[in-house]
């Protein structure tokens, strides 16, 4: 099969702007985590978007280890055969059984605007802001 560079450029130009909304996040928009229910060494996370997020914003979120790393120094993520991260927003959520989190793991969100010093490109996983729930 022969590839045509001009056709690839044309198809890239026709990608709708709505597809970019999921990848990029507006300034001031981030993921917030509230440890709701604690049991031994785990907690059930309540995820929410920060108040600075516009309606319709969706972020890519994942859990990542704070202790274990892969060979090249990147943090270890759980092996998910179908997906490695979830799209989280007003109309989409993370599966309930995935909200249980061990204290040695943290929630992260994809910040497409942040500079990644390891890869020397924009876009990196950023730790979520943890809020303590008060009664």
The pTM (predicted TM-score) of the whole model is: 0.70
Burial of 8 (0-12, 13-18, 19+ CB in 10 A): exposed
How does pLDDT run across 78-88, given as a tens digit for each residue?
A: 655 446 788 99
Burial of 79 (0-12, 13-18, 19+ CB in 10 A): exposed
At 5 the pLDDT is 46
How does pLDDT run across 95-124, given as a tens digit for each residue?
A: 999 999 999 899 999 998 888 887 888 888
Instruction: Find the largest Cα–Cα distance for the chain.
Output: 63
Q: Residues near 43 by Cβ (< 8 Å), separated by ≥ 6? A: 35, 36, 37, 100, 101, 103
CB 43, CB 37: distance < 8 Å: yes
Mean pLDDT of the chain: 77
Radius of gyration of the chain (CA): 17
């Amino acid at each position: 099969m022969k590839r045509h560079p001009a056709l690839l450029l044309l198809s890239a130009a026709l990608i709708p702007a709505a597809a970019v909304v999921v990848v990029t996040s507006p300034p001031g928009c981030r993921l917030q985590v509230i440890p709701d229910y604690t049991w031994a060494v785990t907690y059930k996370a309540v995820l929410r978007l920060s108040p600075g997020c516009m309606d319709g914003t969706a972020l890519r979120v994942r859990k990542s280890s704070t202790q274990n790393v892969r060979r090249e120094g990147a943090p270890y993520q759980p092996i998910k055969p179908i997906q490695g991260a979830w799209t989280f927003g007003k109309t989409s959520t993370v599966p309930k059984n995935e909200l249980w989190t061990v204290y040695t793991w943290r929630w992260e969100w994809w910040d497409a605007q942040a500079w990644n010093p390891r890869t020397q490109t924009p876009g990196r996983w950023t730790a979520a802001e943890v809020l303590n729930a008060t009664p």
